Amino acid sequence: MVALGVQDALAAVAGGKKNTENTSHYFTLKNSHDERVKGVSFDQFVELKSNGVFDESYQEKLAALFLQ
């Protein structure tokens, strides 16, 4: 389990800024109970986002999440 965690961490770091932005965006939508990501895995989200489904800025949702 620890080795898998280390592998995941290294893969996340190797993914760079874009991977960090996608992760932040995905969990912001998940935590705000956005219906568009209900039942959607992270990999599916990244694919949908690359196809333009989540083009809007998520900064407002991120701010709203912390203001709750």
Tokens 């407002």 — which residue? Answer: 60
What tens digit of pLDDT does each residue of 38-64 get?
999 999 999 999 888 887 665 666 666
CA distance 68 to 35: 18
Structure tokens at 34: 């956005």
Q: What is the pLDDT of residue 67?
A: 64
DSSP E strands in 1-68: the ranges are none
What does the pLDDT read at residue 39?
95
Would you state the structure tokens that stand for residue 8, as one six-digit string?
Answer: 């995941």
Digit-coded pLDDT (tens) for 10-49: 777 776 777 888 888 898 889 889 899 999 999 999 999 9
For the chain, how big is the Rg over CA atoms in Å? 13
State pTM to two decimals. Answer: 0.61
Question: What secondary structure letter does DSSP report for 57?
Answer: -
CA dist 44 and 65 (Å) reads 23
